């Protein structure tokens, strides 16, 4: 899976707990079944919450409050559930998890359809831990990357209003020219986006705590580069060692019957 496999909607999702008496909720019903070997079409699908701009894999047919994922290796499922930007962030994996022919289809439904995408992803994490007997830990390591900082003269972006709705706007991942026009987006969210679709791992060090509206366009072949485009917003990328959290598998088993 390359860096662009994780859908853009996930790039802006923040860890959260389900609000049911302070305890995380689980799916009301969930199935994990082997995919049909002769009818594989590639991993697709995802989780759709009330705040999802679009469902994972651009599959807007997923009903609200559900995770529906087809033809996925366990590595794909881990990448979606924990929002990993690259499969290279998974380590110590059994062969069948990363590159084997074994793929799975997940269909899971939350009891309350009015859940957020982050809540659904938390449920998906717990489902994978339970059904695959998944044991893991995270290791933060410094890698080459960039710090998103303010340029001389400060930010040149419109501060979002309270009634603005957080959105990224249209985005064509296949085009060499990348254009986004987000509204009410924080700098950590922008750094997360740039980590997935920009020049590498990016951490937010702007010190800006607000949310902003702006337009950002770049083409790293024909110009302007992402570095030049950010300068127009009063931002810049500074080479830096940044922490990256690796997903280290301790144990995983093939799921039993549902």
* Annotated domain spans of the chain: 8-138, 141-244
Q: What was the pLDDT predicted at 238?
A: 97
d(CA 196, CA 153): 27
**HSE-CB for 42 with a 13 A CA cutoff:** 3
Q: What was the pLDDT predicted at 24?
A: 64
Question: From the CB of residue 150, how many other CB atoms can be counted at a distance below 10 Å?
Answer: 17
Q: What was the pLDDT predicted at 13?
A: 39
Q: What was the pLDDT predicted at 196?
A: 81
Q: What was the pLDDT predicted at 157?
A: 96
Q: What was the pLDDT predicted at 55?
A: 40
Q: What was the pLDDT predicted at 39?
A: 77
Q: Whose CA is closest to 26, among 114, 119, 133?
A: 119
Q: What was the pLDDT predicted at 58?
A: 46
Question: Cα–Cα distances in Å, from 131 out to 36, 37, 244, 255?
Answer: 19, 20, 27, 5
Q: What was the pLDDT predicted at 38?
A: 77
Q: What was the pLDDT predicted at 94?
A: 94
Q: Are 142 and 188 in contact (CB under 8 A)?
A: no
Q: Which residues contact 103 (CB under 8 A, 6 or more apart)?
A: 34, 35, 40, 43, 71, 72, 73
pLDDT below 50 — which residues of the chain?
A: 1-22, 55-59
d(CA 115, CA 117): 7
Q: What was the pLDDT predicted at 54?
A: 53
Q: Are 64 and 113 in contact (CB under 8 A)?
A: yes
């Amino acid at each position: 899976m390359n860096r662009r496999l994780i859908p853009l909607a996930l790039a802006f999702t923040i860890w959260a707990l389900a609000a049911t008496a302070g305890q995380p909720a689980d799916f009301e019903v969930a199935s994990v079944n082997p995919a049909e070997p002769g009818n594989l079409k590639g991993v697709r699908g995802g989780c759709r919450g009330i705040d999802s701009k679009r469902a994972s894999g651009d599959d807007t047919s997923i009903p609200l409050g559900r995770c529906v994922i087809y033809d996925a290796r366990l590595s794909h499922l881990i990448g979606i559930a924990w929002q990993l930007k690259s499969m290279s962030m998974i380590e110590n994996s059994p062969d069948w998890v990363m590159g084997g022919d074994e793929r799975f289809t997940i269909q899971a439904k939350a009891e309350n359809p009015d859940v957020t995408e982050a809540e659904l992803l938390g449920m998906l994490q717990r489902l994978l831990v339970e059904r695959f007997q998944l044991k893991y830990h995270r290791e933060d390591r410094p890698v080459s990357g960039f710090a998103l900082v303010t340029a001389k003269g400060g930010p040149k972006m419109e501060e979002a209003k309270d009634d603005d709705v957080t959105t990224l706007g249209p985005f064509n991942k296949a085009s060499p020219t990348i254009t986004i026009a987000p509204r009410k987006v924080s700098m950590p969210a922008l750094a997360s986006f740039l980590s997935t679709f920009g020049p590498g791992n990016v951490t937010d060090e702007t010190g800006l705590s607000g949310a902003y509206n702006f337009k950002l366009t770049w083409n790293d072949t024909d110009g302007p580069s992402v570095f030049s485009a950010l300068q127009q917003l009063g931002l810049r990328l500074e080479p830096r060692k940044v922490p990256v959290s690796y997903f280290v598998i301790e144990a995983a088993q093939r799921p039993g019957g549902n």
